[in-house]
Structure 1
Amino acid sequence: MSATAVRETVTPPRLEPPRRRRVANRRRLVRHVVVTLILTPVAALWLYPMLWLVSASFKTNSTIFSSMGLIPEEVDVWNYSRAWWTANIGPYFWNTLLITVATVAIVVITTAMIGYVLGTFPFPGRRFVTILLVATMFMPEGYTIIPIFDLIRNLGLSTSLAGVILAESGGAHVIIILLFAGYFRQLPRELIEASRIDGAGFLRTFWSVMMPMAKPAIATAIIMTLLRVWNSFLIPLVLTLTRPDQRTLAVGLYAFEGENATDWTGMAAASTITLLPIVLAFLFLQRYFVEGIAGAIRG
């Protein structure tokens, strides 16, 4: 047998381009079906508690625990009205919104500036500062509540929403700082040098050049701060003990728990109102959230 015949016997026939595309598409379809079959039950298990919460907000107190189904046996549409007006969830909602918006603005600006310095400017002790910031992550929040309360009281802000805003925005926010540091580190250094040649100083370079390019990191920082502040409980609880009208949603939910009974359906309705803004914000910013995390990891 000649060498050509042996080569033709051993070498598999090459597929034509259209056939190769069909095979690749078939494999991609099979992989997509397998992944969908695996992840669908996981997604159902993850979504079920939230769907049950929404369903419970339309049930009555006598039927809320009669079954774990998602279709109410009896529908009570007044749960939301009772939660909003009778339990003062309306004022608590606006208090939480004001505190969250102000805190997010302060945290994003301060952490971005710190991350910009740590990520782009080499200075003596930078590694020590980073280690010190990371070390603060291991300190429980309960250990710092007393000095925070004492500081806010000495500033004369213990009876105002400004005190809650200052307390919420004054933490280290280490993860967000490292996120910005990693993101700014992977940006071209030539941008800073070009802005210096044009006569821009530190603040102008930061605000006009670097911040517009860090939109994914900013969106990630907004989501992370929004989730933390919107659901914050300990600091608002301590700082609003003497001012019930300034409570936040997380603290106000305890108004549904009485000494002898608990308004479960009202609490479910209030919890649904509390979750809705977070879900909408995440759906709006999720693409930037993924890009921000990916950019920080690359940096």
Structure 2
Amino acid sequence: MTVPTTSAPVEPATATVTAPPLRRKRHGWRREIIVSLILLPICLIWIYPFLWMVGSSLKTDTEIFGSMSILPEDPQWENYSRAWYEANIGPYFWNTIFITVATIAIVTITTAMIGYVIGRYPFPGKKALVVVLIATLFLPEGYTIIPVFDLINQLGLSGSLWGIILAESGGAHVIQIMLFAGYFRQLPRELDEAARIDGAGFVRTFWTVMLPLAKPAIATAIILSLMRVWNSFLIPLVLTLPQPELRTLAVGVYSFQGENMTDWSGMAAASTIALLPIVIVFLLLQRYFVEGVAGAVRG
């Protein structure tokens, strides 16, 4: 005899969807608003000199010191024409581009190779070499200008753009070297082993495997070198004394200051022309700049 069994009806399972806590959302919005309110005045203070320079480039000398407003009452666009043609900022601009591009190419290749060796290979005296490189950061540029000038003069490159390129690219460039060393250090070791199995040597492994993976570090090195070479003043000033037509932008802007008076509006216009390329390049490469610094820090 079978005893009938009664089973409770099975209710279909319903998935419960939990909405994100409203309180947490409100807390996140409040935090973002507070952080934005704190950072906004700091950003305005930070960029005020740049805005003042751009505004002053469209004013007269009297209006620059007679008004605290950034915006000009009557924009003086002829300041840029005077700076470009009459003050020879145009030729100085192209001289600076040539020097900067050539120096960046040399510095990026040399620092990448040095950083690759330091970051990937152990060798005797490695720590001592790193200490010496870092110590050069504390050596003022003015202490080395005499031997640099003497070397360039003995090579017969004094008073030429190639002499400036050699002098600018011949420094230690410690920041770029450490940047590449840290970035290459965090790459997997299996890449070297795979390249070695394929028969690649040191140079081929560096050019075909490692360097293409270091695009963020390369972009960061380019930005750092660009800011340094584009704004360099002492080396171009000393090496272009015999030939003023070979001046760079930094030296050319200084020429607006005379013995008896200073053309402040022309200097502001020339400075704006000189800074725009750096701002544009940084905006284009800022994502790679952050990735390169983050990768070097992780390494």
Provide TM-score, normalisation by structure 2: 0.93
1:141 aligns to what?
Answer: 141
2:34 aligns to what?
Answer: 34
1:234 aligns to what?
Answer: 234
1:8 aligns to what?
Answer: none
Q: Measure the CA separation in 2 of the matches of 1:178 and 1:254.
A: 33
Query: What CA RMSD, in Å, does the superposition of the two structures yield over aligned residues?
Result: 1.1
Preserved contact between residue 57 and residue 265 of structure 2 (Cα < 8 Å): yes
Q: Measure the CA separation in 2 of the matches of 1:49 and 1:208.
A: 44
2:38 maps to 1:60: no
- Report the secondary structure of 1:71's partner residue: coil
Larger Rg: 2
1:108 aligns to what?
Answer: 108
Q: Measure the CA separation in 2 of the matches of 1:44 and 1:130.
A: 39
2:122 aligns to what?
Answer: 122
1:67 Cα offset (Å): 1.3
- Bigger Cα displacement from structure 2, 218-227 vs 19-28: 19-28
Aligned partner letter, 2:283: L
User: Structure 1's 60 and 18: CA in aligned 2 closer, same or farther, altered over 3 A?
Assistant: farther
Deviations 1:69-104 (A, max 9, x none): 112123211000000000000000000010000000
Preserved contact between residue 195 and residue 205 of structure 1 (Cα < 8 Å): yes
2:176 aligns to what?
Answer: 176
Aligned-pair identity in percent equals 68
Q: Measure the CA separation in 1 of the matches of 2:216 and 2:257.
A: 40
2:8 aligns to what?
Answer: none
1:196 aligns to what?
Answer: 196
1:165 aligns to what?
Answer: 165
2:295 maps to 1:295: yes
Q: Measure the CA separation in 2 of the matches of 1:257 and 1:26.
A: 55
Residue ranges of structure 1 left out of the alignment (5+ in a row): 1-15
User: Structure 1's 132 and 115: CA in aligned 2 closer, same or farther, altered over 3 A?
Assistant: same
Deviations 1:207-226 (A, max 9, x none): 11001100111011001000
1:18 Cα offset (Å): 4.3
Aligned partner letter, 1:233: F
Preserved contact between residue 257 and residue 263 of structure 1 (Cα < 8 Å): yes
Q: Measure the CA separation in 2 of the matches of 1:265 and 1:152.
A: 36
Deviations 1:147-171 (A, max 9, x none): 0000000100002100000000000
Preserved contact between residue 159 and residue 241 of structure 2 (Cα < 8 Å): no
Q: Measure the CA separation in 2 of the matches of 1:117 and 1:94.
A: 35
2:277 aligns to what?
Answer: 277
Q: Measure the CA separation in 2 of the matches of 1:35 and 1:219.
A: 29
2:150 aligns to what?
Answer: 150
Aligned partner letter, 1:189: R
Q: Measure the CA separation in 2 of the matches of 1:173 and 1:254.
A: 26
Aligned partner letter, 2:134: V
Aligned partner letter, 2:268: A
Q: Measure the CA separation in 1 of the matches of 2:71 and 2:130.
A: 51
Q: Measure the CA separation in 2 of the matches of 1:19 and 1:26.
A: 14
1:237 Cα offset (Å): 0.4
Deviations 1:54-76 (A, max 9, x none): 11111012211111211212321
Deviations 1:152-195 (A, max 9, x none): 00100002100000000000001110110000000001101110
Q: Measure the CA separation in 2 of the matches of 1:35 and 1:50.
A: 24
User: Structure 1's 26 and 195: CA in aligned 2 closer, same or farther, altered over 3 A?
Assistant: same
1:22 Cα offset (Å): 2.5
Aligned partner letter, 2:228: R
